[in-house]
Structure 1
Amino acid sequence: MNLHGLTIEQKMMWERDGYLVFEDFLPQKETAYYNEKLDQAMTVFREENRKNPETGALDHVDQICGIIEHEEAFLELMENPKMMNVMRDLLGDQFVMIDNDGLIKPPKKAAHTNWHRDTGTTLFVDEKPVPFMIKVFYFLSDVSYDGGCLAFLPGSVHMSNDELPKVENQEDMPGHVRMNVKKGTAVVFHGSAYHSALNNFSEETRRSLIFNYAPSFVRTWPGYEPSEALKAKADTNLRKMLLGMTPWCSDAKAFEEEAVSQ
């Protein structure tokens, strides 16, 4: 098995559970930098009275949809080399970014969602199973057990919709696992993994950046289409591919540049 960013053990965990946790994925200096840039973007967003698209807006959180439009740092994080190698192992060499967000979840706030799947389908490309989409959470703050964790039902990727438990209160889901993680952690999960945001009962603020990747023939989520200004600055095959500028049926050659530079 030729892997770029995962160990064999991690690949097996992914296939079993439907999610992976990478502690210390972002160095503390980078985490502090992204926190600073997120605060700056939020300030401008509020001062200019900008609005999120209805197709992406969430309740009970401070949110910027399309965060990559607001700061070059977030655009660079979209193509983080380590994460790109993880995506290659999970999606192959042809994929796009279909949505991205900056999220700040204030203390003592109800969850913005209950248990759900983002997708219910696994695709087959060249006879290999490929997720319909994969979401990446970068946590910019420590998340306590009662701090509004992202939570999963391990192994739910192998369950039919009828087999998935239904609960009224998010925390009552039997067998769930909470992502009470340290800042700098990256969490990656399959679109069909059963997951939820939990209620933030703590006095702490949860901060995160989210990037959603999918096979290259999947369309960008409405409201998240990259601007013409952003596309005009795309000067690498990788960035062009991620922004959906490369025809999906063509070889983007996104990772040949990386191979040449090594």
Structure 2
Amino acid sequence: MTTIVHDTTEAVCLCQEYNLFLKPIAKMTVSVALPQLKLPGKSISNWEVMERLKAMVAPEQFSALRISKSTMDFIRFEGEVENRGVVKILLAKLDGKSIKLSGFTDILKVRAVENKMDFPTRYDWDSFFRDAKDMNDTVPGERPDTIHLEGLPCRWFILPDGPPDRPSETALQAVFQGFGPVRQVDIPMLDPYREDTLDKNFNTFTFGGHLNFEAYVQYQDYDGFAKAMDTLRGMKLMYKGEDGKAVACNIKVLNYTHYPCYKYFHAC
């Protein structure tokens, strides 16, 4: 899902030709401890707690705030803001503070922390290929050289004269070759003959109705792969139109160890 970006100051260019940028992800987790309810039939409104949190950070604002978990003991929220610099401001306004709700004598304690990125590290991919008995690091595909991307918007990777909903491997390569020379790219959904070999969790869209796609980019050397992984860590993909308006989306970046079609891609 894409969201409107109001502040693009932290965005860095990924590919000028396709108006694509990378924008830092700025998320935080806010936990509110709930008191024991002594009176039967009395409850705490999640909506009221959320509104109190929004008021506590004013004049700053969350670009998104949602409940990630709710129990009898606590409510956990995931909040997102426009820039990483704003995260520290909100943490100072929330962490260790308290909320007083009308009709309740107990106060609600608030804890807030910046989210850690769930992203593969150099240790993850280096150790996987180093410890694999059947891998030969002199052979492309049997070493850390391929990134796996999910959630790429189709319309951001089309050719000027191509179908409006069909991503192009040419466009994909142009976007990601800025990190280093690309050996080959692969968009599984473009090949109808591979439908049975793909993980059904990834092959969820068909032509005429799809919005996003998954792809694989194989670099010629380790440096290109490592630079791509390091640069994409903690980033959103952002598209900036000719009118200056920008939208962004979260993409999932994995290393080649997660690839469900290893044999096919390696044989290319």
Structure showing the higher strand proportion among its residues:
2
Normalising by structure 1, we get a TM-score of 0.27
Q: Which has the larger radius of gyration?
A: 2
Normalising by structure 2, we get a TM-score of 0.27
Higher relative contact order (CA 8 A, sep 6+): 1
